[in-house]
Amino acid sequence: MPEVKRRYYALVFLLLLALTAALKPSFEALDWRLFAALDGRRPPWPAEFHLVDVPWDLNPAGIETFRHDLTRALQALAALDTPPRAVVLDLSISALPLGLTADLETALDKLRERGTPVFAGVDLRHPVTGEPDAAYLQRHAKTQVYDRLEGFGHTEYKVVGRAVWYEPCIVLRGGDPGAAPPCEGALAVSVAESLVKRPHERKAGQRPIVVNLQGERAPAEKRWVVDEAAGGTLRHPVSAAGPAASQALRHTVVVVGNLQHDRIGMLGDRPGTEVVALTVADQIVPVAPLRLLTHWSALLAFTAFFSLAGVLCFSTLRRRVPALRLNLSAAWALAVLAMLAALVLVVVGLRHVADLVYPQVSFVALATFYAVSLSAHRARMRLRARAMQEDVTGGTTGGAVEAYDVFISYSRTPQENAAWVAANLAEPLARRQVDGRPLRVFFDQTSIRVGTSWYFKLAEAIQGSRCFVAVYTDEYFRKDFCRFEMGKAAVRLVRDGQFVVVPIVRGEVKVPAAFEHIQTLPAGDPARMVEQIVAQLPRPSPQD
């Protein structure tokens, strides 16, 4: 095939990739659901983690009530016989003075005195620009609250499908001129640095951290509320069953937040407080955390590798497997399936061997599909050109070409035309006797087996026929196989003086100029048409 054709296919491939890249965000949920399914983990709720629910009035005027309830929850935790290992506040406390009472400060100081570190979230976003800025603590209750904390960090989570991922450190705008831009760590990272001494370098460019949310929801015995009627003690919200808070919460990590209204992204069935607890647990358990592999170079490498491998796999199957040499559909399907299986194995291997999550499987799979499909289309067009021009009397399998008396060419659409051809031409001709034997009629509905290469089979049948009958209709010259059959018949008509072409016209049909020189017959009485076709059959050669 000329070089311009290869460039044409390469250009189509790049255009398809560009279109897919524009639609790439639509595939994210599918990719993450695939990750969750391939990850295979259904971890139980971490036993060390408990949740305390603080009611939250959606009315902004209710902030004072919310802070009062938060203070009562912290006071209840500080009053336990054995305090928790740590308290994590799933909320950012602004500098708005409503509810910032001395009781809140006292509760935080009491927890610190008892050796319980307290952590909280911060809101990095500027209220006007929406960008993370270095002045974020000025908008928080720094003196009253944050100076009393062990640590704090952002909770900028991105939820896709059944997974959540976040940046270990987010770069802030508005730092000192000439200095490296400051980078604020995640809340889970801050907790891990303090509780298990797991250091994280505070710099941009680190791979995002991934947490699979396929595991259990927080059980009822891990959820607590403040019982005002019982003097502000902690109890289970459903029933009084289970151990008392003083026994259940000793040496645990307690995450305080709202379990009713707080939701992250598309996780409408899982409170944000649970997500915070899971991200913190993911950082402090003694296992390697998952890292996200999303750099553009990884996408480029995966796309190029699997696309080229798919093309090579398709080409190798055709060359090495004789049964697939002309069966392009089977070779295409096997190559696509082999590449998809290899992609899944690589993604699973990265997850289990290197703790890397590659969430761009859909894009790479589609790119591989495009590459193999275009390769199969190019091979099909080359076969079509060969079948049109070459002498296939040797047979596609090396044997002799099967001989036919009549080859019937027609359009299968509309269905009425296919039924008309079968009833008025194929069946009557097959019943006719010539020289003491039935006519051998090639009719695609009965003469082509599943898995046969259509172009070469059609070329063989046309080359092995004595008469070519074409049924011209409005659809005929718009069909690729019909144009191929008529073109092959026209080539043979020029080369073989004994070959006969009989076009039958149904309705008003515009015949292309290349075929206008061939005399046509109008569709009429079926018996008469059959007689005219039989009458024009050339005399068989002695070997027939």
Mind listing the pLDDT tens digit for each residue in 463-510? Answer: 889 999 999 999 999 998 899 899 889 888 888 888 999 999 998 899
* pLDDT reported for residue 262: 63
pLDDT per residue as tens digits for the range 348-357: 888 888 888 8
Q: Where are the domains of the chain?
A: 3-38+293-389, 47-284, 404-535
Q: Are 489 and 501 contacting, i.e. CB atoms less than 8 angstroms apart?
A: yes
Q: Which of 156, 178, 179 is nearest to 167 (CA)?
A: 156
pLDDT level of residue 393 (50, 70, 90 thresholds): low
Average pLDDT over residues 247-269: 77
**Four-way CATH pick for 404-535: 3.40.50.10140, 3.30.499.10, 2.60.120.470, 3.30.70.1060:** 3.40.50.10140
- The count of other CB atoms within 10 Å of the CB of residue 491 is 15
On whether the pTM is more than 0.85, the answer is no
The yes-or-no verdict on residue 27 having pLDDT over 80 is: no
What pLDDT, on the 0 to 100 scale, is given for residue 190? Answer: 93
Query: Under the phi-then-psi rule, with left for phi > 0, alpha for psi from -120 to 50, and beta for the rest, what region is 415?
Result: alpha
* Closest-CA residue to 380 (of 456, 328, 432): 328
Note the pLDDT tens digit of each residue in 416-436.
999 999 999 999 999 998 878
Residue 2's pLDDT is 42
Contacts with 1 (C-beta within 8 Å, 6 or more apart), sequence order: 378, 381, 382
What is the average pLDDT across 316-322?
Answer: 87
Residue 478 DSSP code: G
User: 396 or 237, which is more confident?
Assistant: 237
The pLDDT score that the predictor gives to residue 1 is: 38
- Cα 51 to Cα 211: distance, rounded to the nearest angstrom: 19
By C-alpha distance, which of 300, 307, 334, 330 is closest to 13? 307
CA separation for the pair 55, 70 (Å, rounded): 9
For residue 88, give the nearest of 57, 132, 118, 66 by alpha carbon: 118
Question: What is the β-pairing status of strands 433-434 and 437-438?
Answer: antiparallel
Mean per-residue pLDDT, 195-219: 80
Q: Which residues of 510-528 are buried (b: 16+ CB within 10 A; e: fewer)?
A: ebeeebeebebbebeeeee
What pLDDT is attached to residue 287?
63
The secondary structure of 259-281 as a DSSP string is: SSS-B-TT-TTSBHHHHHHHHHH
- From 46-50, 103-107, 278-282, 456-460, the region with the lowest mean pLDDT: 456-460
**DSSP line for 82-143:** S--SEEEESS--BS--TT--HHHHHHHHHHHHTT--EEEEE--B-TTT-SBBTTGGGGB-TT
pLDDT of 411 higher than 90: yes
- Torsion-angle region of 293 (φ positive above 0: left; ψ -120 to 50: alpha; else: beta): beta
pLDDT classification of 272: cutoffs 50, 70, 90: confident
pLDDT at 55 over 90: no
Query: Structure tokens of 46?
Result: 């971490």
